[in-house]
Amino acid sequence: MRVALVTGAAGGMGRAISDRLLADGLHVIGVDIDGAALLAMAADRDGFTPEAVDVTDPDAIIDLFERMTNRFGGVDVLVNNAGTCLMSDFPDIPAAELTRQMEINFHSAFHCCQQAVKAMARRPGVRKIVNISSNGAYNFDVFDPPHYRASKAAMDTLTKDLARRYARDKIAVNSIAPAMTETSLFNVLT
């Protein structure tokens, strides 16, 4: 059985990614801070394991991957989808907001990648890490705030480094940089 772990699984993109992976025959570990939404997803999805975890907590990420490795023997696919876009204007961005933006969008992906590489070590075949970035990291014709852009650009740099570092180990690392997507976050931003 191939196993995928998707962060931000209860949101719009995370739900769609989880459903696609399930349709492709993978067992999906859906990770989100919204435990109730995950339980609702699990109620009508065979092969879906809900895990309510705060991905901004590195110790919680370590615990999650250890538990999932013990239960499933590791993971084959990681999709770092958890993210948000905090909207303060540049001169008014409080330090706490900058920190929170980086924790959610970049630090969580960094720590999940660290644990995923370990959890993928004994899995056969090509393993995959997909980081959900944003065209806002490079497209300056949109209204994204600078701390959001920086968090996604950092993720893309991490992606490029890990792709080079782990290609020989058959761990493919890529990012996807979607434009504005109609999700609940879209409704907040527009």
Residue 91 per-residue DSSP state = G
Instruction: Based on the residue annotation, tell me whether 148 is a catalytic residue of this protein.
Output: yes
List the one residue out of 43, 67, 40, 41 whose CA is nearest residue 53: 67
Distances (CA, A) of 129 to 33, 97, 139: 21, 27, 24
Measured CA to CA, the distance from residue 52 to residue 30 in angstroms comes to: 8
Catalytic one of 48, 72, 106, 148:
148
- Crossing angle, helix 146-166 and helix 95-102, to 10 degrees? 30
| Dihedral over Cα of 144, 84, 18, 117: its sign | positive
Which residues are known catalytic residues? 148
